[in-house]
Amino acid sequence: MVRGICCCRVAFLLIALLVWPGDAVGAEKPAARVPVPAEDDRAKSLALLREVFSSEIDAAKKPEQKAQLAGKLLRQALDSRRGSADQYVLLRVARDLATSAGDPVRASSAIEKMTTAFDVDPASLHFAASRKLRKKVRSADQRKSFVRVLIRWADEAVESDDYKTAQALLKTALAMARKGRETDLVQDLAARQKEVGSSAKRYAKAKLALEKLRDRPKDPAANLAAGRYYCLVKGDWKKGIPMLALGGPSELARLGRSELAARDGDQDTLALADGWFALAEGAASDVKEALLSHAARWYQEAFPKEKGLRRVRAERRLARVKKMLADIGAAKGARRRRWASFPGMPGLQNSVVARVQITGAMAKLKEWPAPKEPAPADARGQAIHRFNAMLRENYLVTPAVPYQGSAKFKVLSDGVVVVGIWQKDWGDRRFSGGSWRKEVQSRQDLLRLGWKPLGIELVDGALFLAARQCKAGEELFIRTKKYATPRIFIPKASIPKASIPKDGRTR
């Protein structure tokens, strides 16, 4: 991968988007976490850090200086031995500096790296940082970044069944959004609060039910509550269905018993799929998606076994279920894309990110290379350095595929697409498909096609960034100079944390 903007020699396409499920490639299992180093070892590392960075620490008085130092310590932590006292102390001090500076992005990055390498409690770190950051954030951009971080932390808390922390984080996010008068975001957060509150109530019932099942393993009400939670909230149908089957005379319990029979081959799978679909149609919005997804699973299993009209019926019902799921996913995706926005891109903080389909080798994602240290002394070099740091902290990037000078992407939902092209590498090939139907040789050609400049020009104006509102269904086939692969940048905040392993590639 090319190291840094100043040495980049390829044209690339910069598109902020959501990853479409199924387009990403596999990744290795992350390494196990290690215990927090002993207190004596941490004290020695802290003393060494203060000695090595004494001048920078003394000079870091203003928030922006503290934030820059936090970024420097974060990069130093990445170069330290994993699980060492030095790495732990570097991350802890970077977190404290970023929090003090009101920099939620760097604070979140430090905490994420701590929880990845060390056996610490993410929820307590997130909650403590949120309480400090809410007093320190000042600008509108900081508030928006803080809200995105809080939403991500809340999602992680929900995944670990820590609903108390999730609700506290969402409450803070809602207060920040109201302070910034972000009407759409306030509505989205209120809806998310309602979802989490509903899940919390189900978890509380399931927790009590599980305690009861220790003494009375066949209690119908307890099995129904626990099975409902595992299936409809956590998505663990394998664990939840046997519990539902013991849940008494309810329709959910009846379907659970039918599913157990279907697993043994003693049940009409099409009738079972119809049962789950009928239940989904009248279900509350917070569980409808889970029920529809499960119905789709059984329709897919039933379809190849059927013949004649029953086969046609199964096929059409499956198509209907997929359409309903797509509508639910689009609504959720629009909300997440508003949360993600375009960090570091002026004028696009409140825009909806377009969802774009990526396939093949381009679907692999990596972190943007770390800026070289130290930062150049001249203003131009420092601007490049800051831009590199912003990309690394906020985006993932597709690789530069050897000998590939073109890429094809399909826009799956309405939203903004951002294009970045090195002007010295303006293609002598054709930009075609969608609205790009002519040869683009200059920025004027791009602007004539409806793209708007973002006002970011680095490296003596060589990098030109522009944005355009795209429509679902558009296909962008971008062909650049030979061997100059278009590159795609994806906001980390627009991707669910569970699908970003620690090496930066999507699962």
SS (H, E, C) 412-426: CCCEEEEEEEEHHHC
Helices (H) and strands (E) in the chain, counts: 17, 11
Q: Which two tokens stand for residue 496?
A: 């669910």
- pLDDT of residue 150 exceeding 90, the answer is yes
Q: Which amino acid is at 3?
A: R
Measured in whole angstroms, the distance separating CA 225 from the mean position of its chain's CA atoms is 31
pLDDT by residue (tens digit) across 486-499? 677 777 777 655 44
Distance linking the first and last C-alpha atoms of the chain = 20
Burial pattern 181-197, b for ≥16 Cβ within 10 A else e, equals: ebeebbebbeebbeebe
pLDDT by residue (tens digit) across 79-103? 889 899 999 999 999 999 999 999 9
Of 128-132, 294-298, 314-318, 479-483, least confident by mean pLDDT is 479-483
CATH of range 39-196; options 1.25.40, 3.40.50, 1.10.8, 3.40.30: 1.25.40
Distances (CA, A) of 96 to 40, 77, 201, 288, 359: 20, 14, 35, 42, 40
Label residue 330 left, alpha or beta by phi (over 0 means left) and psi (-120 to 50 means alpha): alpha
Of 22-31, 123-132, 332-341, 376-385, least confident by mean pLDDT is 22-31
How many residues are present in the chain?
A: 507
Residue 260: half-sphere exposure toward Cβ, Cα within 13 Å? 13
β-bridge partners, 470: 415
The residue whose two tokens read 């500096």 is: 97
| Calpha distance 466→66 (Å, rounded) | 32
- Contact between 450 and 468 (Cβ < 8 Å): yes
Nearest to 325 by CA among 373, 365, 288, 276: 288
Q: Which two tokens stand for residue 434?
A: 């969608």
Q: Which residues contact 215 (CB under 8 A, 6 or more apart)?
A: none
| Calpha distance 269→258 (Å, rounded) | 9
Question: Is the model more confident about 37 or about 380?
Answer: 37
Q: Which two tokens stand for residue 452?
A: 């708007």
What are the residue ranges of helices labelled H in 79-162? 85-101, 104-117, 122-136, 140-159
pLDDT by residue (tens digit) across 455-504? 655 444 456 677 888 887 887 765 555 445 567 777 777 765 544 544 44
User: Interhelix angle for 63-78 vs 85-101, to 10°?
Assistant: 160
Nearest to 232 by CA among 216, 243, 246, 217: 243
Q: How confident is the model at residue 21 (pLDDT cuts 50, 70, 90)?
A: very low
pLDDT by residue (tens digit) across 201-217? 989 999 999 999 999 99
Distances (CA, A) of 208 to 30, 211, 234, 244, 308: 33, 5, 16, 16, 48
Nearest to 456 by CA among 407, 405, 391: 391
Nearest to 1 by CA among 495, 499, 485: 485
| Calpha distance 497→109 (Å, rounded) | 12
- Contact between 415 and 481 (Cβ < 8 Å): no
What integer is the mean pLDDT of 276-292?
91
| Calpha distance 214→191 (Å, rounded) | 35
Q: Which residues contact 406 (CB under 8 A, 6 or more apart)?
A: 429, 477, 478, 479, 480, 486
Burial class (CB in 10 A: 0-12, 13-18, 19+), 216: exposed
- pLDDT of residue 124 exceeding 70, the answer is yes
pLDDT at 277: 95
Quote the pTM value.
Answer: 0.64
Residue 170: half-sphere exposure toward Cβ, Cα within 13 Å? 24
Q: Which two tokens stand for residue 324?
A: 């309903």
pLDDT at 501: 43
Distances (CA, A) of 86 to 91, 94, 154: 9, 12, 29
pLDDT at 394: 77
pLDDT by residue (tens digit) across 160-204? 899 999 999 999 999 998 988 878 788 888 988 998 998 899 899
